[in-house]
Amino acid sequence: MYEISYQLNSPNCIAEAVEDDLIVINLFSGKYYNMQGAAVHAWHALLNGAKPSQLLNANDWTEAEEQAFRHFLQLLVDESLIVAHARTINTELPLTILINDETSSFKVEVFTDMEEMLKLDPIHDADADIGWPHKQ
């Protein structure tokens, strides 16, 4: 898990930066995720080819921060947001990630309130008499 590179689990997932936040949507599960700060920087580093072990070695994180990063990585893999990929790292990629607030380092908010809507299939769930997709 720490010695491999990752990529976005596309086409099942999409990601978009909005100001200082990163929003990732898993179209398969219907969950969406909000990341800020160190989580956004780690996400970009991972998707640009950095191996988790490289990030752990390049940063002088406390034990709690390292544990938070490991939990963050596990969440990304468990939620199928990223998948293993054979890629070489961009040598110009900065591997240092500064953490300003230990309590929110690598924090990912998970939202499930739109699961049903994101899982709708507007083509196949439509009914000739009813029209727009409806819940079965």
Lowest mean pLDDT among 4-13, 27-36, 51-60, 97-106: 97-106
**What tokens does 10 get?**
């596309």
Cβ contacts of 57-66, under 8 Å, gap ≥ 24:
58/95, 58/96, 59/95, 59/96, 59/97, 61/99, 62/102, 64/102, 65/99, 65/102, 65/105, 65/106
Does residue 135 lie within any of the structural domains?
no
Residue 89 belongs to a domain: yes
Q: Residue 115 contacts by C-beta under 8 Å, 6 or more apart in sequence?
A: 29, 30, 31
Within 10 angstroms of residue 48's Cβ, the number of other Cβ atoms is 17
Say how many C-beta atoms besides its own lie within 10 A of residue 104's C-beta: 13
Instruction: Tell me the pLDDT band of 95, cut-offs 50, 70 and 90.
Output: confident
Asked if residue 124 is part of any domain, the answer here is no
**Domain limits at 66?**
5-119
Distances (CA, A) of 104 to 22, 35, 38, 47, 60: 15, 10, 8, 21, 17
Q: Is position 131 within any domain? A: no
Q: For 89-98, what is the mean pLDDT?
A: 72
> What's the N-to-C CA distance of the chain in angstroms?
39
Split at pLDDT 50, 70, 90, the class of 9 is: very high
**Residue range 1-12: mean pLDDT, rounded:** 93
Q: For residue 111, what are the β-bridge partners?
A: 32
Is residue 67 in some structural domain? yes
Q: Number of structural domains, the chain?
A: 1
What is the pTM assigned to this prediction? 0.79
Structure tokens at 88: 């070489």
**pLDDT above 70: residue 89:** no
The CATH code of the domain that includes 91 is 3.90.930
